[in-house]
Chain A
């Protein structure tokens, strides 16, 4: 086996298995070095399939490389490293182990050359991420993790059903030979089943609620990992499998505004950031739907930069949660005084997600808008511009303002321990580095297309949009007073309606069972009584007879015998 045949994700999965047996420095070394080793392996994989195998007559391609796979593989490894550094001394071993397993499975998906391999790693990812959620070890996390895994297993079932239809139609399991909606056509159920399976993991409607439901229940460090892999792996498979499918433009735009509106209503800081994951993935899904080289490169680049700044935001929020134990806007405020580094890193992440010039978000998101403009998609372009302003509103200002400024909550926690600080500084530096020198990122992008982000037009457009969005925020602040509320979502149907129906069903079936049992018991009792009447100690058939009666009966019988004999 040569080095380019080793699946890079395997290093992390093996590392995850070894981790529980190690302690002290060995444990730290494994958490930090396994992602770096995987990163090195990612860059050993050339274009084309390197590891193939035969499984029940199917040609499986376990490792297949190209620029897109390496781009996602690279950012997943960087993310696993920084997340590991952030969680190094704070997370439980089971969480770190599950996170490595989860990251390794995600890398497995992006190097998979066939649908079965995609499916296998897809399901492993669902298992790893569920354990990361459960690692928070609270009742709320246990329940949320259960809801999470149900939705993801549903997604897996839809995906598998779609893959079966694909195999029937194509006689092949190869993934990435062309867009699935063109190979299968939109008339085959397989197209829609595979799309649905992919979209559930992307946080698309109607199942977006799993994300803001489950992720914020994880530990302060857990959500940093969770934010990166599941949704971005979904972006990867949509990019490969459904590029240019115009349904995705509208699904993406829906996700963008869903994220903004729900985040504006939300009080929990990590749930605000969870809604903004849906919002950002919406931009990518929209870009994939537009499907031009510019938009596709933009979607891939945005996935890369998004992983970094969203993890940074969640590290900042996780630090606050870790140091204060509080997660609601209404309980926080004024923390900039005692947590300056966490505040500055949070602001860098917030500016990046808002795609402020000189940050990473700017150099990636403007490519998606450019893609819409090039295609003269006026409505899409105007909606994307409004959404860019909305991102600043719901995440860019709202998050730092309510956590670090707003009112003085009286809390004065210090910045978090050194490893958490170091991870934040590393990702903040990457956010600015990519924003200032985008060429390095552009060189990694899958398609060959020229784009200049820093033109006077782009910069002025974005600054006007964002700064006036900021003005709107502060002018309308009285309308955004935080309340101790949550917002209903589609998950109401299973968390409330479904639960109530199930409860009513249980109560009624219980009652019916009780009644039936009672009646049955009644009848049994009566039947027993009848038997007792006949066979009991004094029953007709069981009682003892006195000698006279017995003699009389025998005489009667003999008489009857005589009569019969003479006849």
Chain B
């Protein structure tokens, strides 16, 4: 672990592990908080306390994969227009 002492404390594996734990706790907290606020539920499912967590994750995953699929068609080397 001696190498780690040379690295900035923020990028040491131990800090990163701790950051993940804190992040997971915060995520859980925001979902739990959904139970304690009144969600007006303008539409069908958006009144559920977990709705936005699930919606945020799935739509982002869809966008990442959607972009990746489009990238197969659209991506070109970055000197494409240089000739």
Contact = CB atoms under 8 A, between A and B. Distances in A.
A265 B77 CA distance: 12
Provide the main secondary structure of the chain A interface: helix
B63 A390 contact: yes
Nearest to A139: B82
A418 interface: no
A472 B57 contact: yes
30 contacts: A260-B63, A264-B63, A264-B64, A265-B71, A376-B42, A385-B52, A389-B60, A408-B11, A455-B37, A456-B33, A456-B36, A456-B37, A464-B51, A465-B55, A467-B27, A468-B54, A468-B60, A470-B23, A471-B27, A479-B64, A479-B65, A480-B64, A484-B77, A485-B75, A485-B78, A486-B78, A486-B80, A488-B73, A488-B75, A488-B76
Nearest to B24: A471
Given A260-B63, A393-B64, A456-B38, A468 B56 contact: yes
B39 A457 contact: yes
Given A261-B66, A485-B78, A495-B81, A457 B53 contact: no
A265 B52 contact: no
Contacts, number: 145
B21 interface: no
B31 A464 contact: yes
Contact of B70 (A265, A373, A386): A265
A468 B37 CA distance: 18
Given A460-B39, A460-B52, A476 B59 contact: no
Nearest to B60: A472
A267 B50 CA distance: 34
Nearest to A483: B75
B10 interface: yes
Contact of B76 (A390, A393, A487): A487
A337 B9 CA distance: 10
B57 A469 contact: yes
A393 B60 contact: yes
B8 interface: yes
Given A460-B39, A464-B31, A479-B68, A265 B74 contact: yes
A96 B83 CA distance: 32
A267 B78 CA distance: 9
A548 B52 CA distance: 120
A461 interface: yes
Contacts of A467: 23, 26-27, 30, 53, 56
A473 B60 contact: yes
A471 B26 CA distance: 11
Interface of A: 257, 260-261, 264-265, 267-268, 334, 336-337, 373, 376, 378, 381-382, 385-386, 389-390, 392-394, 405, 408, 455-457, 459-473, 476, 479-480, 483-489, 495-496
Contacts of A476: 60-61, 64
B57 to A, nearest CB: 4
Contacts of B11: 334, 405, 408
A261 B63 CA distance: 7
A264 B61 CA distance: 12
Given A337-B8, A464-B30, A479-B68, A496 B60 contact: no
B56 A389 contact: yes
Q: How large is the interface on B (under 10, 10 to 19, 20 to 34, 35 or more residues)?
A: 35 or more
B59 A386 contact: yes
B27 A264 contact: no
Interface string B24-49: 00110011011011111011100000
A478 to B, nearest CB: 11
A453 B73 CA distance: 41
A495 B83 CA distance: 11
Contacts of B57: 468-469, 471-472
Nearest to B40: A457
B51 to A, nearest CB: 8
A396 to B, nearest CB: 11
Given A376-B42, A487-B75, A496-B81, A464 B63 contact: no
A337 B52 CA distance: 34
A381 B60 contact: no
Given A390-B63, A471-B27, A472-B57, A464 B34 contact: yes
Contacts of A261: 63, 66-67, 70
A265 B67 contact: yes
Contact of B37 (A265, A457, A479): A457
B38 A464 contact: no
The 5 closest A-B pairs by CB, nearest first: A456-B37, A464-B52, A472-B60, A468-B56, A386-B59
A488 B47 CA distance: 40
Contact of B56 (A267, A405, A456, A465): A465
Nearest to B54: A468
B27 A468 contact: yes
Contacts of A260: 63, 67
Contacts of A381: 42-43
Most chain A beta-carbon contacts within 10 A, residue among B33, B70, B81 = B81
